[in-house]
Structure 1
Amino acid sequence: MAGPAKKRAVIEKQSSGSSDGKASSGHDGATQRSSPKSIPRLDGNRDPTIGRGIAPIEYSRTNDLKNISEFLGMKGWYAARGLQLPDSLPARPAQFNNLGKECTLTLNTFNVLQAPTTKVYQYDVGWGSETDSSKRALVKKIWDSKAVKSALGEPENLWIYDGNKLAWSGIRVERDEARIRVDLDQEENEALQAAGRPLRAIRPGKENKHMVFVKLTRQVDFAHLNAFLNGQASWSADCIDTINFLDHVLREEPSRKYTQIKKSFFQRGEQRFDLGGGIEAFKGVFSSLRPVLNDKFQKTLTVNVDVANGTFWRAQDLGRSIVQVFNCNTPQFQTKFREAKKDWRHSLLRKDLGRYKRVGVTAVHVKNNPTQWTIEEFVGMDCHEAKFPDPDNPAIQVSVHDYFEKKYNLTPTSGVPVIKMTKKIRKAPVYIPLDYLRIDPNQRYNSKLSDRQTSEMIKFAVTLPKQRWEAVEHGIKLLNWNNDRYLNHYGIKVSNRPATIKARVLSSPIVQFAGSGPSSTIQPRDLLAGRWRLDGKKFIQGNTRELLSWGVCAIATPRGGLNQQQVTAFVQNFIKIYEGHGGRINPKFNKMPHIMQGNLARGGDMIADAFNQTGNKFQLRPTFLMFIVNDRNIEVYRRIKKSCDCRYGIVSQVLQSKHVERNQAQYISNVCMKVNAKLGGATCFTKSTTMPKVAPTHITIPTMVIGADVSHPAPGSGSDAAASYAAITMSIDATFTRYLAECNTNGNRVEMVTSQNIEQHLGNMAKKWIQRIGRGHPPKRVLYIRDGVSEGQYAAVLAEEVRDMKECFQKLGCKEIPKFTVVIAGKRHHIRFFPGPGAGDRNGNPLPGTLVETGCTHPFEFDWYMCSHVAIKGTARPIHYQCILNEGEWLGPEIQQFIFEHSYQYIRSTTPVSLHPAVYYAHLAADRSRAHENVSPVSSGKKEARAEPKPQSSTGSSKAKVEIQPLIPLSNAGGLMEAMWFV
């Protein structure tokens, strides 16, 4: 293994402004120990103003990490931080998996045929003290100014700029440093004069003048990258800089022609798709360069091209947009505003209007001279109440209404909030009435979509493989590599032919139900089709908690609900079908539950009524409650779950009345799987015919599977103070069918599971495993599957989470710590498989078990892509798995087959699933845990369980401390924590 990566600080002179490379952290020890610290999220925060002393790029500094391209692998990120590569990092196995059958796939990757043939120099870009370099639009405007272009010799010399600190060119500037003065006011007035528009007045002392420093730091080293790809050199900062340069060259020309959002490009004038609420969607093209083991088994570079689906604000009058967003007319909006003004700071209207923050608008109140602004916020004042110093007499405050009436002969609408802009004039805020603002085109919508918008977006985004491939080909035409002047200038060539590879379709396991004969297993053709029915099948393990004291609550609303006869008919059918699947219901009370009506207006008391009435009827603590609701109201759902989980410790099932009314057998069978799992049962086991051949000792090694996921609040107003949720799951039987799950808050946008959560929740579950499965002994090995972390966080998973897990086993008194194997499961990528004719399913998607190890994988590290499911709609998205630690010495084919086979025993499905169930359950648990928030309920429910507030701290790399309350703990009065309450 290679030694420490060569740090840039050794090669180049550091300025006094260099940082020490330590990640910021504000944890107080309750949530995460201070050392080592998590690498902060790459959240787009810019470097502080550098001034005259330009600090060269040093990737070990936190602020410089955002300059790194993705897909460098774990070694690349270690090298970037100047850390020594760990000996434990698994390499790609010497031989590929040869199990199953071979198949041919086309990938949406396009190989780089030729790297630059000319000299390329890298420069660091700095700014004078008068420039706020955190303002991306200002920086871009300065870089694109005539003064900068002229000084750098454009357009003859084509420069590449990353928008932050790095620039590249094929020329070497004189004296290796350029100092360029830019007067944006002068250039703007020259442009206005040429257009015949009024000139902009420039006040003394307020000139828009800037100084740009462009300093040579190094020559891009293509030879070192080639040596790395050939296995002759280790990762270094040189390699990273080179890949970074190539990635930016590929993006430069498209970014000038199309609207760019990160690595996606959207063509202006594309057909829009209306999502409702003033939001629209349209398709673009995603493009990203990465080092791979290509289709010819060569270590090289390739470009991943895919469809990008973007959501944008509709370009229209701001007033019309607000009417669409709030689905109301102007008088109704005025009423909303009048009510909200009573407590504007805490009002729901103010929060909802927060989605317009940072939206660019054009003011059109001055004809023939529109001006562009950026919205800071809607204020709790209308045009009569909002005032500012009168420009003609600054000692007097003038209202927005009076100013617009006097200055422009315009009468703004009263009773609606005025908009405060980000820019100030004479140090005073700028207020503009919404009547005269228009939303600028091609602006991304960053807030969470509503349920209706999400449904429409899915309809727009989901396309079958044939249509998706046509869209990829359209994207290739848009990128137009052959005629890209930047690629041609630097001598880069990219193939227009996609990579075609030999993949494997792994053998499906035997899916075993109870009993014997044909009905006890799934037919091979159904396994390959990825879908089967439960008709005539008994669950491999019936409910260990026999149903005796159970109740059904049909919730009535003013709009109506189901009658007693409909509910009784459904319950009778449920009993018949559940028993047919092997469910156990005590006949003491004729097997029937207590059926009652619930009143939603009673809030938490409604659940208390259901619990108490059921217990009174059977003179026994209820085991299970079923609730029938009239719609998919998330607040009602969470109210039910909060009471049942945290107050009564009872498993529950929520059903929609429309399904109950239809009373269809297939729907009831699906419900039975969930109910059976919650009551201690299991749907099916998988029996492998492959594992005994691949790893004969596999079954004899005591193994624990752990899954973890951290979910973050949706972007938008309020998300900077909202909780993240960490969920940890653990297998609790020898067949890895049933899992325990525990959850809690995890600070605000903290990606690593905190030490406190691991110690408390993993420790609690590990005790049960040792007692039940290990018979007093810990497992010999642990397979930890972690979801949702980026490459830059892989090292932190090992340094923090795995470290804490091992310490957890130590605290439990384990003399021998289990051997950990850690696999990262990633969904957020753009790799897609396109099978050849006859090699896929009926929709053209890959078959379950399709395994890809070349064409898009890392040149040296142990990763693979696997499609274990069948996509019902659209194009299947494979899961990217990367093994970052393998103390358990799993063989490559062993771990790949293990993960694939377990996708068939997901406890609530009659299909294989895309992710390993341990991670899937962590998703479910993290989402369910939102119902356990320690907040007051929306309606009554004065008896709701509430925990004593024990704040968890959370920090990000650039924000103040946020206090996050822990969740209300589950009540284990009825053994809920032993049940799969989350399915």
Structure 2
Amino acid sequence: MKFIVLQKCRSFSSFRRLKERKFVMSQPEHAPIKLSEFPTRPGYGQLGREIQVRTNFFEVLQLPDANVYQYDVDISPEVPPFLNRKVFEHFENAKRGGILGGIRPVYDGRKNVYTIKQFPFGDATTCQIILPEDETVQSTKPPSRHYTIKLKKVAEKNLEETIRFVNGKSATSNNILTAITALDVLINQVPATNFIAVGRRAFFTSEGSRKLHGGAEVWQGYWQSLRPGQGKFYINFDTSATAFYEPGNIATVFARILGYRGVEDLHGFTDKDRLKAEKTLKQLKFQVNHRGDNVRRQYRIKKLSEFSARETRFSRGVGEDSVDVETYFQQQYNRQLRYPFLPCIVTQNGSYFPVEVCDLEEGQRIIRKLTDKQTADMIKFTCQPPAVRSDKIQKGMVSLNYDQNEHCRQWGFKVASEMTVIDARILPTPTLAYHPSGKESKVVPQYGAWQLGPGKKMLNGATLNSWSVVVFASSQQIRKEVVDLFIRELTKTLGENGMNIANSKPPILHANPQGNIESTMRQAYQIAGNAVKRTPQLILCILQGRSSLYDEIKRIEDTVLGVPTQCAMSNKILKATKQYCGMLGLKINVKLQGNNVSLQQGYLPFLQEAPTIVFGADVTHPGIGDENPSIAALVGSFDAKATKYATSIRFQTARTEIISALKDMVQELLKIFYKETRKKPGRILFYRDGVSEGQFEDILKYEVDAIRKACTELEATYKPTITFVVVQKRHHARFFPIHHKDLDKSKNCLPGTVVEKTITHPFEFDFYLQSHPGLQGTSRPTHYHVLIDENKFKPDSLQTLTYNLCYLYARCPRAVSVVPPAYYAHLAAFRARCWQKSSAISEGDSESGRLENYCGLKPELQKIMFFI
């Protein structure tokens, strides 16, 4: 077999053509090719200090110089993907020397098989397979052991076109996408067989697992994907971790879920305990152990019985007396129950099993939201310093051992064993501007952060006049003198930092956190206004930990009263440090429409040369099994410093990523921009968060069109130039500094590290930017991909503008990892989850009913960054 050796070839012309091969070219080689409907890269940036970093991209050294054949697979009867793989594995083993001609195919577990040689049976075949009994799943209705497999050839793709693609000489096509998918399936074939597969690219093992709170455990694993780079393909390989339900006897699982030390502590099992355990375990798979190891049938949990095994009765048959479950197991199986006081597991077919005869199966991933405690434990497990993560990635690649992979050998697929070293640059740090009356009116951050303090005065400190404080606890729980001391320190700190505190003794109200919250907040609003005879500006709420109380407070203030709130935690006010008060002050000042800090003149030229509006957009979706609406949020700047943003929120059909009301939302914010500046923005810079690569075309088609329509409907001749940038955080690219001078304090890359070569798109305009200082673990850069650029940005200007904006995040003195407009849109969308009128939503409710169950933002808050 002939091979393409990528490391020795630099262009398409250097590849030797086989005489017997016929290549189909979409256009003659000399003709101009439209490579993409998105902007192509306008060159490379020059600003900043050049460095090199290692990245978790491993170069593909060799690809087969051959066609890839795609076959459609139909397995009947229909079974889950994991059983599909078993059926196909037996088919492959049985037929490899026959109709498969010794060819090792790769299978995606669903509908597609790919090979590097054509099967000798021709275009189609049908086979019968009998699965061995020990490979089937035992349950009340075990699947058939007899299967029919139909294979049909559907495509023949040439890998040479993919090489043209990565060399920037061919546009993306279905041929290229199919070939890349085939190679992706190839590299994931062995891991999918040897590990627990989650999706198509993540693989986990219980080896080295660690227990989490509440009957869960975290498993370590790997994630890998074939990625086209500039001139070459790479495998993006990363460590990963996810939470699984802890296996074992369900009686023990009960104790773990409910936070008890052992099963013996469950004697006081309550109905509340039952509902909590049922919510956690519903639909999980278990096996029964009372018939011996040879008959361990599998079932799914439908619910828990309302009564204990001792109290739950059923009829043995027509004319027979009923019997309780405890007695039945004693008589039928000679099994004396140890925990008859616990409820039974009820299965889909209505069977009742005592929990102690049920063993929860291993390898069942948790797809619901983790609890706060589980999340904290998970972060501790996954938080790995760069050196540790790098080492685990390297060892993971070695463990997969591509060189010994029979499928890869047959395909002639070879991968480098070491991480790729790539060029990067560290962009210059911008200078920040505070109020000139302070001792430090100009600040150059070090390592992406700077200190608050009396030497720095807010650029535009607001006046705090009409406000009140609500303490959601009794005066015995949080003493009056503690609250008074906190208010004194807070007002003093705010004054030192540049705010004007006209009223340093606001009225204080103690309230029952279990009482009528809306009535309490109305009372706080009233006493704030009455105290100084002015419209209330702020209500400060002191809470004992974040809970549903927080959401209710925000709902009332955002959608009923229309006044900003600031929440403080009771454990924080006990010490009332200047640092804590200063951080609260950043939020309070912005909510009062003040301005904390800006960049020195000259660091945002694109915004200051001509009237420009910066948008940020995001859509947040409900969790799995939740049919509440998706929430779209749009924020838009209305000052030349890009520090003030107005907000527009819409609720739309669940899990719809396209912002359906974007035209109206853009118009709202354009009108605010004009009202505040008396100018129409001639340029639009739009940062769109939360979009995957597969959605780029739809976003370009619908959302960019909506922006244009928003402008022309306001005025037929109004056509500002648009730059639309997708912001991506959900990716697996990581960078590891090589030299000590390129490290920050957490051993991560320095803020301002930008990567635009080697591992980025072959020809489209994108870049990675690590703009924030590391705190713990390995930092994740943000990926920016330009979908339209009518403003004709150069790489340096867009990269530095995006980086400099990251220093203007209003609520902390640090550069952030995501450009603030996108960050603000995410916060606004997340806040709108609090605006639900009632949580009592049933499965039968209509979509319109679910949408109407959410309140809208009060107009008074639209120009206030209430979500900070």
Provide TM-score, normalisation by structure 1. 0.78
**How much does 1:168 deviate?**
2.2
Secondary structure at the aligned position of 2:172 is classed as: coil
Bigger mean CA offset, 232-241 vs 702-711? 232-241
Q: Is the CA contact (8 Å cut-off) linking 1:561 and 1:630 kept in structure 2?
A: no
Q: For residues 676 and 463 of structure 1, do their structure 2 counterparts lie closer, same or farther at Cα, with a shift above 3 Å needed?
A: same
Find out whether 1:562 has 2:466 as its counterpart.
no
- Residue identity opposite 1:419 in structure 2: I
Find out whether 1:818 has 2:720 as its counterpart.
yes
Q: For residues 233 and 608 of structure 1, do their structure 2 counterparts lie closer, same or farther at Cα, with a shift above 3 Å needed?
A: closer
Question: Which of these residues, 508, 527, 531, is aligned with residue 613 of structure 1?
Answer: 527
Deviations 1:380-400 (A, max 9, x none): 55558888996x989999876
- Residue identity opposite 2:300 in structure 1: I
Q: For residues 663 and 385 of structure 1, do their structure 2 counterparts lie closer, same or farther at Cα, with a shift above 3 Å needed?
A: closer
Secondary structure at the aligned position of 1:964 is classed as: helix
The aligned counterpart of 2:855 is 968
Question: Which of these residues, 285, 290, 294, is aligned with residue 365 of structure 1?
Answer: 290
Find out whether 1:769 has 2:673 as its counterpart.
yes
- Residue identity opposite 1:826 in structure 2: Q
Q: Is the CA contact (8 Å cut-off) linking 1:353 and 1:378 kept in structure 2?
A: yes
Q: For residues 799 and 157 of structure 1, do their structure 2 counterparts lie closer, same or farther at Cα, with a shift above 3 Å needed?
A: same
**How much does 1:555 deviate?**
2.3
Question: Which of these residues, 802, 805, 819, is aligned with residue 899 of structure 1?
Answer: 802
- Residue identity opposite 2:669 in structure 1: M
Structure 1 segment 904-923 matched on structure 2, within 5 A: 904-923=807-826
The aligned counterpart of 1:183 is 130
The aligned counterpart of 2:360 is 439
The aligned counterpart of 1:842 is 745
The aligned counterpart of 1:102 is 50
How far apart are the structure 1 equivalents of 2:721 and 2:313? Answer: 67
Find out whether 1:470 has 2:388 as its counterpart.
no
Question: Which of these residues, 524, 541, 564, is aligned with residue 460 of structure 2?
Answer: 541
Question: Which of these residues, 19, 38, 49, is aligned with residue 89 of structure 1?
Answer: 38
The aligned counterpart of 2:584 is 671
Deviations 1:819-875 (A, max 9, x none): 221111111111111111221213221111110001321111111100011011111
The aligned counterpart of 2:109 is 163
Question: Which of these residues, 537, 547, 557, is aligned with residue 623 of structure 1?
Answer: 537
In the alignment of these two chains, the number of paired residues is 825
Q: Is the CA contact (8 Å cut-off) linking 1:88 and 1:886 kept in structure 2?
A: no
The aligned counterpart of 1:593 is 506
Q: Is the CA contact (8 Å cut-off) linking 2:34 and 2:171 kept in structure 1?
A: no
Q: Is the CA contact (8 Å cut-off) linking 1:273 and 1:280 kept in structure 2?
A: yes
Q: Is the CA contact (8 Å cut-off) linking 1:553 and 1:628 kept in structure 2?
A: yes
**How much does 1:257 deviate?**
2.4
Find out whether 1:500 has 2:421 as its counterpart.
yes
Secondary structure at the aligned position of 2:704 is classed as: helix
How far apart are the structure 2 equivalents of 1:241 and 1:726? Answer: 33
How far apart are the structure 2 equivalents of 1:278 and 1:885? Answer: 48
Q: For residues 206 and 609 of structure 1, do their structure 2 counterparts lie closer, same or farther at Cα, with a shift above 3 Å needed?
A: closer
Q: For residues 434 and 231 of structure 1, do their structure 2 counterparts lie closer, same or farther at Cα, with a shift above 3 Å needed?
A: same
How far apart are the structure 1 equivalents of 2:156 and 2:310? Answer: 61
The aligned counterpart of 1:233 is 170
Find out whether 1:550 has 2:550 as its counterpart.
no
The aligned counterpart of 1:792 is 694
Q: Is the CA contact (8 Å cut-off) linking 1:744 and 1:929 kept in structure 2?
A: no
- Residue identity opposite 2:760 in structure 1: T
**How much does 1:268 deviate?**
4.1
How far apart are the structure 1 equivalents of 2:272 and 2:211? Answer: 31
Q: Is the CA contact (8 Å cut-off) linking 1:365 and 1:436 kept in structure 2?
A: yes
The aligned counterpart of 2:26 is none
Secondary structure at the aligned position of 2:639 is classed as: coil
How far apart are the structure 2 equivalents of 1:703 and 1:722? Answer: 35
How far apart are the structure 1 equivalents of 2:502 and 2:139? Answer: 87
How far apart are the structure 1 equivalents of 2:266 and 2:668? Answer: 51
How far apart are the structure 2 equivalents of 1:410 and 1:217? Answer: 57
Deviations 1:770-796 (A, max 9, x none): 2222x2x53112111111111111122
The aligned counterpart of 1:856 is 759
How far apart are the structure 2 equivalents of 1:314 and 1:739? Answer: 46
Q: For residues 759 and 207 of structure 1, do their structure 2 counterparts lie closer, same or farther at Cα, with a shift above 3 Å needed?
A: closer
Q: Is the CA contact (8 Å cut-off) linking 2:55 and 2:736 kept in structure 1?
A: yes
The aligned counterpart of 1:574 is 490
Q: Is the CA contact (8 Å cut-off) linking 1:626 and 1:653 kept in structure 2?
A: yes
Find out whether 1:639 has 2:552 as its counterpart.
yes
**How much does 1:182 deviate?**
2.0
Deviations 1:209-252 (A, max 9, x none): 22110122333412222233334433222212211111111111
What value does the CA root-mean-square deviation take over the aligned residues? 3.2
Question: Which of these residues, 64, 74, 78, is aligned with residue 126 of structure 1?
Answer: 74
Bigger mean CA offset, 909-918 vs 526-535? 526-535
Provide TM-score, normalisation by structure 2. 0.88
Question: Which of these residues, 441, 446, 463, is aligned with residue 527 of structure 1?
Answer: 446
**How much does 1:876 deviate?**
1.0
**How much does 1:332 deviate?**
8.2
How far apart are the structure 1 equivalents of 2:368 and 2:704? Answer: 34
The aligned counterpart of 1:933 is 836
How far apart are the structure 1 equivalents of 2:265 and 2:538? Answer: 45
- Residue identity opposite 1:753 in structure 2: I
Q: Is the CA contact (8 Å cut-off) linking 1:778 and 1:814 kept in structure 2?
A: no
Secondary structure at the aligned position of 1:528 is classed as: coil
**How much does 1:522 deviate?**
1.2
Q: For residues 794 and 234 of structure 1, do their structure 2 counterparts lie closer, same or farther at Cα, with a shift above 3 Å needed?
A: closer
**How much does 1:360 deviate?**
2.9
**How much does 1:595 deviate?**
2.2
Bigger mean CA offset, 397-406 vs 368-377? 397-406
How far apart are the structure 2 equivalents of 1:339 and 1:360? Answer: 23
- Residue identity opposite 1:722 in structure 2: N
Find out whether 1:978 has 2:834 as its counterpart.
no
Secondary structure at the aligned position of 1:121 is classed as: strand
The aligned counterpart of 1:709 is 618
How far apart are the structure 2 equivalents of 1:356 and 1:577? Answer: 50
**How much does 1:114 deviate?**
0.2
Question: Which of these residues, 769, 773, 796, is aligned with residue 866 of structure 1?
Answer: 769
- Residue identity opposite 1:808 in structure 2: A
Find out whether 1:224 has 2:161 as its counterpart.
yes
**How much does 1:480 deviate?**
1.5
Question: Which of these residues, 148, 156, 171, is aligned with residue 211 of structure 1?
Answer: 148
- Residue identity opposite 1:714 in structure 2: G
**How much does 1:724 deviate?**
2.2
Secondary structure at the aligned position of 2:509 is classed as: strand
How far apart are the structure 1 equivalents of 2:469 and 2:279? Answer: 41
- Residue identity opposite 1:580 in structure 2: E
The aligned counterpart of 1:747 is 653
Find out whether 1:151 has 2:95 as its counterpart.
yes
Secondary structure at the aligned position of 2:523 is classed as: helix
**How much does 1:736 deviate?**
0.8
Q: For residues 761 and 937 of structure 1, do their structure 2 counterparts lie closer, same or farther at Cα, with a shift above 3 Å needed?
A: farther
The aligned counterpart of 2:243 is 311
How far apart are the structure 1 equivalents of 2:162 and 2:327? Answer: 65
Find out whether 1:323 has 2:255 as its counterpart.
yes
Q: Is the CA contact (8 Å cut-off) linking 1:570 and 1:663 kept in structure 2?
A: yes
Structure with greater contact order relative to length (CA < 8 Å, sep ≥ 6): 1
How far apart are the structure 1 equivalents of 2:513 and 2:144? Answer: 63
How far apart are the structure 1 equivalents of 2:193 and 2:495? Answer: 65
Find out whether 1:419 has 2:363 as its counterpart.
no
Q: Is the CA contact (8 Å cut-off) linking 1:554 and 1:628 kept in structure 2?
A: yes
Q: Is the CA contact (8 Å cut-off) linking 1:420 and 1:432 kept in structure 2?
A: yes
**How much does 1:87 deviate?**
7.0
Deviations 1:282-338 (A, max 9, x none): 322221111111xxxxx1110111111121221211221122112257698787664
**How much does 1:529 deviate?**
4.4
Q: For residues 308 and 338 of structure 1, do their structure 2 counterparts lie closer, same or farther at Cα, with a shift above 3 Å needed?
A: closer
- Residue identity opposite 1:137 in structure 2: F
Secondary structure at the aligned position of 2:500 is classed as: coil
Specify every segment of 5 or more residues in structure 2 that has no aligned partner in the other structure, as ranges. Answer: 1-32
Q: Is the CA contact (8 Å cut-off) linking 2:537 and 2:563 kept in structure 1?
A: yes
